[in-house]
């Protein structure tokens, strides 16, 4: 769980109590859908969609303390801003892997008392 800011998550749990489960599950579902939007934006070389979706996901990941994932989305956001598509498929693949790792860590954290 080293990719997570545990102190932020603990504060979030203290503030939201059991609703933190809902927040994390909504983040997961929303992100899965939006990863498809990112893939389509990359295929279309749609810089605005790439930038805006990655920006939104970056913030959501940061809110949940998923530091590495937030950084991955930031990289995609910058690629959209700079219209830099060379090799971006690998960046998206790395981001998807970071997302899966973050979700595994978040679900493990949720299971703790």
**The CATH fold of domain 6-111:** 1.20.120
Q: What pLDDT, on a 0 to 100 scale, did the predictor assign at position 105?
A: 94
- The pair of three-digit structure tokens given for residue 69, joined into one six-digit string: 């994932």
Q: What pLDDT, on a 0 to 100 scale, did the predictor assign at position 112?
A: 85
The residues pairing with 66 across neighbouring beta strands, listed in sequence order, are 4
Q: Is the pTM of this model over 0.95?
A: no
Q: What pLDDT, on a 0 to 100 scale, did the predictor assign at position 2?
A: 54
CB-hemisphere CA count at 13 Å for 69? 31
CB atoms near residue 51 (< 10 Å): 19
What residues of the chain score a pLDDT lower than 70?
1-2
Q: What pLDDT, on a 0 to 100 scale, did the predictor assign at position 1?
A: 45
Domain boundaries, the chain: 6-111
Q: In angstroms, rounded to a whole number, what is the distance separating the alpha carbons of residues 25 and 8?
A: 17
């Amino acid at each position: 769980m080293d990719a997570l800011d545990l102190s932020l998550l603990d504060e979030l749990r203290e503030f939201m109590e059991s609703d933190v489960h809902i927040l994390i599950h909504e983040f997961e579902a929303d992100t899965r859908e939006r990863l498809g939007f990112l893939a389509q934006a990359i295929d279309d070389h749609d810089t605005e969609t790439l930038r805006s979706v990655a920006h939104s996901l970056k913030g959501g990941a940061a809110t949940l303390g998923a530091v590495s994932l937030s950084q991955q989305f930031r990289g995609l956001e910058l690629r959209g801003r700079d219209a830099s598509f060379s090799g971006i498929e690998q960046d998206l693949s790395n981001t998807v892997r970071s997302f899966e790792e973050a979700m595994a860590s978040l679900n493990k954290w949720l299971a703790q008392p």
